[in-house]
């Protein structure tokens, strides 16, 4: 099952042929490679010839030799078509040695449109930003939103049932193909989690080496235990939360807050926690249009709960919108 990620696809279309490197980042298995394939199909359906598209996935052994940056650059240079735009797609580029040099050299050539994916830990690193400063646009990709999950089922009915499935079955696109097989979904998510911890966090950030240099005994297993012990965090997929904390750790209010947080990111907001006097606002969402304040509560049917959620919003003296989000079908406000 292929789910058309319209929001992200439209962003790529908007930036087509602009002289900026398009970098698609996101957690592993959120659909970055599939997004590039969809965009390539769009190009072909809109007048771009196959010869103008160059695609390399560095997880494919066929391209193993191109992990050397000089060989990669020479290979791509030979593929450029004079006087026509060449679209270059480089997938899982964290496997390339000194990759920023390749980007920097391609960028200065005429008629080259570059699209890159990679894991968050690598693509957000300082050397990438330093090498191609002000020359790129970043598109941050997340797993499926609840709306996308609903659309994947074929209709928008039974929201309550599908919301529960969305939380338990995971928002990673491939999990949909496992069709409610909870044991298989759990194994799949554990594989993603272990890969993220070992490859992106422990290895990339050199956590083990850093702690060892301080005279502390530590290994990858110790780091994973530490990461599991954090008391409060927003996680990119609620299904993964279940495999880390267990299904009995059902803090439904915080789960709803997590879902809202991710949705605000998808909608392009910068999101902060608000503090006014002794009160806390769950989310302060800002973009170029202004600010919106959000309180998130599972229910506000109880009068005391309603007043508790209203109080921080009432303490804010500006005129920006102030919203309470709840699962109640019949909210009082």
- Spans of all domains in the chain: 6-141, 146-250, 254-326
Q: What is the pLDDT of residue 209?
A: 57
Q: What is the pLDDT of residue 282?
A: 94
Q: What is the CATH number of domain 254-326?
A: 3.40.1350.10
Could you say which residues of the chain have pLDDT below 70?
Answer: 1, 120-131, 199-232, 247-250, 331-333
pTM: 0.83
Q: What's 6-141's CATH class?
A: alpha beta
Q: What is the pLDDT of residue 4?
A: 84
Q: What is the pLDDT of residue 112?
A: 97
Q: What is the pLDDT of residue 251?
A: 82
What are the strands of the beta sheet with 112-119, ordered from one edge? 53-57, 86-91, 112-119, 21-26, 136-141
Nearby residues of 37 by Cβ (< 8 Å), 6 or more positions away: none
Q: What is the dihedral of CA 10, 14, 18, 24, to 10 degrees?
A: -30
Which of these, 47, 49, 48, 96, lies nearest to 76 by C-alpha position?
96
Secondary structure element (H or E) that encloses residue 255, with its range: helix 252-266
Give yes or no for a contact between 171 and 149, defined as CB atoms under 8 angstroms apart: yes
């Amino acid at each position: 099952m292929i789910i058309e990620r319209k929001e992200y696809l439209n962003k790529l279309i908007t930036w087509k042929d602009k002289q900026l490197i398009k970098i698609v980042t996101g957690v592993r298995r959120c659909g970055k490679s599939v997004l590039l394939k969809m965009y390539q199909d769009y190009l072909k359906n809109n007048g771009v010839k196959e010869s103008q598209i160059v695609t390399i996935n560095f997880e494919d052994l066929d391209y193993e030799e191109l992990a050397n940056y000089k060989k990669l650059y020479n290979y791509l240079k030979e593929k450029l078509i004079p006087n026509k735009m060449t679209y270059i797609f480089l997938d899982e580029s964290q496997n390339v040695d000194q990759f920023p040099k390749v980007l920097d050299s391609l960028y200065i050539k005429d008629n080259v449109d570059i699209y890159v994916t990679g894991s968050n830990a690598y693509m957000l690193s300082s050397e990438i930003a330093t090498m191609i400063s002000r020359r790129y646009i970043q598109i941050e990709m997340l797993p499926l939103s609840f709306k996308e999950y609903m659309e994947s089922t074929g209709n928008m009915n039974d929201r309550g049932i599908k919301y529960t499935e969305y939380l338990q079955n995971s928002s990673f696109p491939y999990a949909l193909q496992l069709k409610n097989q909870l044991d298989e979904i759990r194994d799949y998510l554990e594989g993603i989690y272990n890969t993220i911890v070992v490859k992106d966090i422990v290895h990339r950030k050199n956590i083990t080496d850093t702690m060892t240099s301080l005279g502390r005994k530590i290994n990858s297993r110790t780091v994973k235990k530490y990461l599991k012990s954090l008391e409060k965090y927003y996680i990119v997929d609620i299904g993964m939360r279940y495999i880390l904390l267990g299904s009995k750790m059902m803090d439904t209010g915080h789960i709803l807050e997590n879902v809202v947080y991710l949705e605000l990111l998808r909608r392009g907001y910068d999101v902060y926690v608000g503090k006014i006097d002794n009160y806390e606002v769950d989310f302060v969402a800002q973009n170029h249009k202004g600010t919106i304040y959000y309180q998130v509560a599972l229910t506000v049917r109880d009068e005391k709960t309603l007043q508790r959620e209203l109080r921080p919003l009432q303490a804010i003296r500006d005129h920006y919108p102030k919203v309470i989000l709840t699962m109640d079908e019949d909210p009082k406000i």
